[in-house]
Amino acid sequence: MTVRLRYVLAALFFFLYGAFALPFAPVVLVMPVSWVRAVIRAFYRSFRLLARWTGLYRVEADRETLQTLENCRGRIVVMNHVSLIDICIILSLLPDSTAIAKAAVLKNPALAAVARKMFIVNDESPERILAACGQLLAQGVNIVIFPQGTRGGDKFHRGAARLALATGAEVLPVRIAYDPVILDKRHPWYYVGDRTIRISLAALPIVRPEGEADFRHAKELTKKLSSLLHF
């Protein structure tokens, strides 16, 4: 496949994403939130399969990683943040899951309703976010967090550690890598390289929080997680 054809294919994928979001947004308002998560997960899975079939990108993970993700329930999934589609990849492989999203997602009128229903948007107070996360984790819903906060961020925030210590939820670190890197902050949105993009996933050993939900323990747990993710 030529580079130009790959760019056209990338544009088509973005078009399909928007074409799905626009009619789906009004339906979100009347659907139970668990249904919304299921529909989004199915949509991301179809995208992953279509991308593999067309040669745009391919997700690679060993059997142990795939089984760990498939059996994940009520855990905090902590990942490094490389690309705009990190969240699409991980949600396509996890069971019932949501994520902490930046308030900036609400600026997109096509995605705002879906994002508000699907994700936990961090435009609320820390106490309300913590309470909402605690309820979801207790129900067996996984919560994906990118401690870097943004793609390629150079700071590893303590939010995931604080949540784990406050709720007692186990933490599943997952490392993601791209070859070549796409949809980061250095390249234009249409850049998809000259070959099939290899997206590698590796689930690391479960981390169980220990100690009180205070600054010292949060700092120690954050340091451990950042080390596991090679940050």
Question: Tell me, what's the pLDDT at 11?
Answer: 86
Give the best-scoring range by mean pLDDT among 55-64, 117-126, 147-156. 55-64
12-16, 191-195, 206-210: least confident range = 12-16
Question: Tell me, what's the pLDDT at 89?
Answer: 96
**What's the order of all strands across the beta sheet hosting 197-203?**
57-60, 197-203, 171-179, 76-79, 142-145, 97-101, 120-121
Q: What is the mean pLDDT of the chain?
A: 90
171-179 and 197-203 strand pairing = antiparallel
Phi, psi of 137 (to 5 degrees): -60, -40
25 or 190, which is more confident? Answer: 190
Q: Please write the tens of the pLDDT for every residue from 129-182.
A: 999 999 999 999 999 999 998 899 889 999 999 999 999 999 999 999 999 999
pTM of the model: 0.93
Domains of the chain and CATH, by start: 3-228 (3.40.1130)
Q: Which residues contact 201 (CB under 8 A, 6 or more apart)?
A: 59, 60, 61, 65, 69, 89, 90, 93, 174, 175, 176
pLDDT at 50 over 80: yes
Question: Tell me, what's the pLDDT at 231?
Answer: 65
Question: Tell me, what's the pLDDT at 187?
Answer: 87
pLDDT confidence bin for 110, thresholds 50/70/90: low
